[in-house]
Amino acid sequence: MEYFLQGFDIQILSIVEEGDLLVTNDKDKWTEDDRKKIYLNCKAKSKLCCALRKKEFKRVSSCKSAMEMWEKLRITYEGTDKVKETRIDILVTHYERFQMQSGETIT
């Protein structure tokens, strides 16, 4: 997904990972630079949405920023750090308890 986002604009991935580019001016006082920031923020959300299936889109469609979308997807598919640690512990335990059953051969 990172390569997909970078392929459109190098700043898109930065917006997704770090958050929207900030615009402090009122809408009627936007400069050309402000408009570009808004455009890139919208583009980041759009590219994420276009890359998702319907089920994932429904999950993130209420998010206000690309970063919020990305974080929700990350937690959904990878889990929180605590969940990751638990998964690793379970896998290590299974590995450590792995042994041949009686009647099994190596070949």
pLDDT at 2: 83
In whole angstroms, what is the distance from residue 75 CA to residue 21 CA?
Answer: 23
- Decide if pLDDT at 21 tops 90: yes
- Among 55, 56, 44, 54, CA closest to 9: 44
- Is the whole-model pTM more than 0.85? no
pLDDT at 1: 81
Q: What is the pLDDT of residues 44-98, one digit of tens each?
A: 999 999 999 999 999 999 999 999 999 999 888 888 888 888 889 999 998 998 8
pLDDT at 3: 86
Mean pLDDT on 12-41: 93
